[in-house]
Structure 1
């Protein structure tokens, strides 16, 4: 984005959802079958196709403009990238000793006495020999009007997903990659190839889902890293660089966003606490993305004061509506919180008018409704009400002339 005045001309729209949606019942039952038998039923894709048609209509009916497939073809939000790369081998039972205990969700595993967990390892040069989400995009493209293809959003996991679990010593074979930069450079090439193919097909919005940046807001993790002799500031720089390698030289009309997640496991469990103050200056000013999706549904995310560091050429999507329980927020509550964020932005550096500040904001759910196939403890009707609430609040907060 080149200026604050151009922000509203590009996605995201004023009312957003992060990406994943509850599995319709037929797909939910089919996923249970997959888990129970560890096999892929011959009719799984057909069931997924019908389920995706259903959730696309749901989004359209409530007035959500940015359309996703709900990640319904995935068992877990991060699937689709690393399991499709040459040079990466999946390890269904990787020893827990190879996971870093200071990572919040790994600490839970250690505390629970888990001995092994599914993961992956890089044992060769990374290459993209087949697409990640191209077929999924093509199917989505067939479900919407030609003029709405540009509004399809593809979500993909961050390139740091496995590295943050295992560190530089356990992520890749040291005879293949000598350091993190070499590893992330090749990984970045693979991501860029995928993004270019998606772009050529008409995709104009890529969302990178990253549960790592919020971990750097956690005092427990920072303390654990210091005890382990890990330079957390240097590692944060490494992870910012890893995403910047992906986004470099992207087309000017391609919006890239990053969703910073605090955990959204089975039942809506979270893992990270702490406000964005620790990372805001560095992240807002050096991460080469257009949009930040920030979770703000509970007090564990802190207040809006870190937004004072937001540059004029970036957008923040405030995750004000929770997906973790069925309690429905109110339009007045959302309006009041947006007003609070606007006032912080107005007094930020640089200071800006209310109009400019409001134009840099959107609202959304704090995370998806189903980052894992089991989903959060809400019903589809709850999901529909929360999405409709976002649309109604957005209509009242942003007058038509700002749209």
Structure 2
């Protein structure tokens, strides 16, 4: 039987997370205060996921996500359900531009492996049933490289970072197989860590490893995870510089990582942030192989509600064709609209207008 290859990433795509409605935020609060049951919360989540699936299809998207409506954070909810990791409340939250985030994180508590009963597998099956073949159901998870942030690895459990990498690779290989068996054919790995490796805002002077070594290791981890990827599974990666209540964590172009990661990472597409001057220019795209991975240009911001000028967006796409052929380019917001449950500073109407704008603009460019 011939396998059907999903044509993702799509000309008009989006990163994944969507603004949580007020009733869902209230339900989460009620659940924490033990005013409603887990069953009642899940029923409301399901109802809201059904609504946003329909809305994504209505605005013309060929892919849909569950908006990450069953999550609090884009990454921590997935990671804390891996064996060998646990959630905890640190003394400080993540540091963003002018703000400290809500305090929650994960830490290494034992040997890392994938739990076959990971809740995301059930979540995807239910989400995919809601979609019912009307669009491509896209699953998003944090990249394996998120586990290489400083202080994430317990050096008593894993004295050697290479041994840690070996277990992380196997964990994600097992995760990808479980998602594939559950019906996933479009998977996105969200990665702040790799983007940080290219940032001049972040110093590695006090690190036991050089930036060059860590870039090489990041490539080996991703390619190790994807070594036996099924041919009909599309895997993309989103490189993010932080997204919390419309703020960011750092800046910097992709120049330092491009010769290694853009040139050699075996993904089907790169979602890249290009919505402001912090992102640098399109020059690093010259390392994308001709006929290789697609580049999804995140030139529409998810951080504000103001709609971009269509001619300006068209001009930016044309500018990018100096480095990557038009047939390898796509459009999306630069990040999700709600990487955490707090959401960015725009309205749900703004969000849908942005996504419809991307669909309309992509249709004009590519037909």
TM-score, normalized by the shorter chain, greater than 0.5: yes
**Of the candidates 165, 177, 186, which is equivalent to residue 196 of structure 1?**
177
Provide the C-alpha distance between the structure 1 equivalents of 2:362 and 2:305, rounded to a whole number of angstroms. Answer: 20
* Residue 108 of structure 1, CA deviation: 6.7
Residue 28 (1) aligns with residue 25 (2): yes
Residue 53 (1) aligns with residue 39 (2): no
Q: How many residues align?
A: 361
Q: After superposition, where does 1:95-134 map in structure 2 within 5 Å?
A: 95=91, 105-106=94-95, 117-129=103-115, 130-134=117-121
SS at match of 2:323: helix
**Of the candidates 14, 29, 32, which is equivalent to residue 17 of structure 1?**
14
* Residue 172 of structure 1, CA deviation: 2.1
Counterpart position of 1:388 = 356
Residue 250 (1) aligns with residue 229 (2): yes
Provide the C-alpha distance between the structure 2 equivalents of 1:108 and 1:396, rounded to a whole number of angstroms. Answer: 36
Counterpart position of 1:259 = 238
**Of the candidates 137, 143, 152, which is equivalent to residue 152 of structure 1?**
137
**Of the candidates 146, 153, 156, which is equivalent to residue 171 of structure 1?**
153
* Residue 177 of structure 1, CA deviation: 2.5
Instruction: Provide the alpha-carbon RMSD of the alignment.
Output: 2.5
38 and 164 in structure 1: CA distance in 2 versus 1, 3 angstrom threshold:
farther
**Of the candidates 73, 81, 100, which is equivalent to residue 76 of structure 1?**
73
Provide the C-alpha distance between the structure 1 equivalents of 2:111 and 2:139, rounded to a whole number of angstroms. Answer: 26
**Of the candidates 293, 300, 304, which is equivalent to residue 321 of structure 1?**
300
Provide the C-alpha distance between the structure 1 equivalents of 2:63 and 2:96, rounded to a whole number of angstroms. Answer: 35
CA contact (8 A) 1:132 1:194 kept: no
* Residue 165 of structure 1, CA deviation: 3.5
Provide the C-alpha distance between the structure 2 equivalents of 1:315 and 1:260, rounded to a whole number of angstroms. Answer: 14
Counterpart position of 1:352 = none
376 and 35 in structure 1: CA distance in 2 versus 1, 3 angstrom threshold:
farther
SS at match of 2:222: helix
Counterpart position of 1:349 = none
**Of the candidates 86, 90, 94, which is equivalent to residue 87 of structure 2?**
90
* Residue 90 of structure 1, CA deviation: 2.5
Residue 305 (1) aligns with residue 283 (2): yes
Provide the C-alpha distance between the structure 1 equivalents of 2:264 and 2:35, rounded to a whole number of angstroms. Answer: 42
Residue 182 (1) aligns with residue 163 (2): yes
After TM superposition, the score normalised by the length of structure 1 is: 0.83
CA contact (8 A) 2:302 2:344 kept: yes
SS at match of 1:81: helix
* Residue 39 of structure 1, CA deviation: 9.1
Unaligned residue ranges in structure 1 (runs of 5+)? 1-7, 100-104, 346-356
Structure having the higher helix fraction is 1
CA contact (8 A) 1:106 1:165 kept: no
Residue 210 (1) aligns with residue 191 (2): yes
**Of the candidates 345, 359, 363, which is equivalent to residue 327 of structure 2?**
359
CA contact (8 A) 2:89 2:104 kept: yes
CA contact (8 A) 2:96 2:242 kept: no
Counterpart position of 1:102 = none
* Residue 182 of structure 1, CA deviation: 1.5
Provide the C-alpha distance between the structure 2 equivalents of 1:240 and 1:51, rounded to a whole number of angstroms. Answer: 37
* Residue 132 of structure 1, CA deviation: 4.5
SS at match of 1:376: coil
Counterpart position of 1:296 = 274
CA contact (8 A) 2:6 2:232 kept: no
SS at match of 1:252: coil
